[in-house]
Structure 1
């Protein structure tokens, strides 16, 4: 406190001298600058009036001034025709220079440009010549700072003399004023009662003490708010699904959330560690080094252990810091796999539609060319065309049905329905497909009432029965449906006596367009979407579907339904 008072009093006297010196120097400098520009303008006018200008004449004039005068000759289009300092051909177009644009519009122009490197100001004066070309002259003059610097020795002597007197006065006044202030500050810092001190001291100190107490309370409240905001940010970071990390640009980790540790399989604390050591992935190291050296962000996809991550490196900007590196890691495994499935789905649809279209096109071309004039043969070809068209229609209907169910999955209407009635309805709809085959359906077990969508569950059994009929081994077959109700779920099994499914194919039969034996299915037309539809409908009902099968011994599909909540 004592030093502050002393410096304040001592600086007051010095400030008066400095302000006076600066004001006088500034007035002198402005007067000098005006004279300097007037002389420069006059020089330009004299050169312009010497007659026809040529580069040699202008160079001679510049050299006569020991090259202190820079002369530039510029065309009306802004092209530099001559410059006494630089090569005119290497200079850019000057049309946008302030003094040039002013001269073109008004006949005269001027500008001042400061150079902090040489502590000088470049003064420019431009004059439009009768042929509309521009003559520009310029000189370098001292800045106001250079003027003050040149006068520094004299000012220093003056300051030394004045400072001696200020020093003696400041010490005397400080001793008289500081004593009551020191007593008040001691009482405040020791949390003592300041009222007695204020009563004994002068009244002018009361606002200071009140202000200090107010600022103390404000600082304490601000610290609490900052701590609360820090805790809130930490909570937000931990609630994020993404992994988040903040590091210095030298790679030192500042903070992170737990999801980031999970994504990187980090076991120990990461504070103070280097980003380069977090992963041995080549792209990770490449992006970290690029951020550290070039201060550039980036992003890439990391595929590791059947997981897919999107990693973003972002350089943050802050007025208080040179910048920091923010790393965001998002688990995009689900969206990535969905994109892969969409691509595979599109490819499969194209392939599946191409096959019946090729058949229709080929046979239609044969008929169109009259290669089979015999009616029976033409009828046979027409039958092939009709079969292919039906297959394509079935495929399109199934695709649209699957798409509609996926889009409206959240809007499906459920109601209490007898599962046995749904099964009977599905079986009746396949009466036409059973013609010519002695296939019987037997149902055993209970007949519970479940909360489900009758239309969708009927579609499940239609697809399962259709497969059982389609892949039956002979004309006499039996399909057995068993219903078993347990405590929290109901199991419905559908068993046929068909050709069966190989073990190595069973894991993929619920994929779209997958067919366990494509060569066999060429004889039994199918879209390859039926079981995918079954699986999706069961998922909408919070249920599941599984398969048990042995080649040559038939197949059993096991449907698991969730019972009604009590």
Structure 2
């Protein structure tokens, strides 16, 4: 129901209620007025007839006047017979005026029959009440049904002082109410006219009030349909509706600006999504393709037939993070793919990252698959590996000869002090060069071959003590303090022995090399964390700035300050460690601040 209709109904019902109350009060007042009028007329008419009849009892000749009309001139004393004549004469002058009927009673007798007889004849108790009152000399009035004329009437009665008789006058009610009914008629007409007038006024006022609301509703529907630039007719009034229209206009303008901005950002995102170098694919929870860009189309040969997992399994080689019949992973996962070589076509290497998109309840809605072409990187890495392998092997032969000659010089006999110092220095440097070439060969071998996944039951205390002795022998000049702590529940650990010692050795080696304190303090702490074995290597060295935390695991990366040759190594140690940890599905993390030391924490599956 519209506001205008509600307002009209409310005002109309209120008006009707008010007029009904007025009419009811008027009716009650009219009834009271009727009683007062009858009482007033009763006293007046009784007084008139008293005057008339009392004047006939005098001995002098008088003229009886009733309501301005001469009745009869009588002289002498008024006796019973003359009263009869007076009544006949009066009735002859007013034969049809019911309000002038007169009855004289003495005791219970009248000239024909008594009022008691009339009450019995018409089966009415009101005449009997009036008769009793008149015979006792009372004055008053009572309503009764006049069967003789068939109308509701009022009888007014009162005593005559000179004769002891009572005078009763009967009035038809319609004669008494004639003026009152005319007044009621006028009131009804005025009330109806007032209702119509009020209805018209309220209709005009409500139309004026609700017109801005109607305009606002139209504007709201347009805004709901996406039209944020439609003009709103602003009302001139400054009431609540005007304030509402102004507020809505401000909201509409804000939404329009916001939608324009969102549209522009969407267009920019669409352009970036379409033209970016990396491939992007949007997948649903079941790995079905929803959307992809141009790069993904070229790299993955989209559109796919069936689900993405089926398409990748059919056209690429690599270990997918989901198998056939399985849902997409709910965790961020990285994997590599190689396009199956067909004929002379070059092999394509891809690095893929699939990330879930969750809703507010944590349920996976979609997945984003990012694809990057790493073919050139793979070729470069392979070339680096081939070069390192070649250089390492080419260096080994002359280096071995050089070390052998130095050993001969040492064993040839006594040397001068200066000669001995030179030979020892050459031996130390060739030893370091041999270790460096050995590291290169090990790293190249590790990258180019499959890892030995065989596991050994390790006694951690024994294995770690061997690493401590070995590392101390490398840094006799620094005299490092290496502390080992092993939790009781982790005395036994299952892992590849060579790889485990290599990981710990590299971390301890870094903690000593990049340490300016005397002595360097290294803490190796072993414990358990759920399904993992935790190995933390903490030093009191120079620390690593936070901006380098992700880069230190890259191959050949060294923080610039120490890329001078003063610190041995070429930046392969941490890359070597991370490769091993990732291979065995472990995790590695670094916590460090410049000048406050470094902690490397490794989690390895404890199965």
Task: Using structure 1 for the length normalisation, give the TM-score.
Answer: 0.37
Higher relative contact order (CA 8 A, sep 6+): 1
Structure number, greater radius of gyration: 2
Task: Using structure 2 for the length normalisation, give the TM-score.
Answer: 0.35
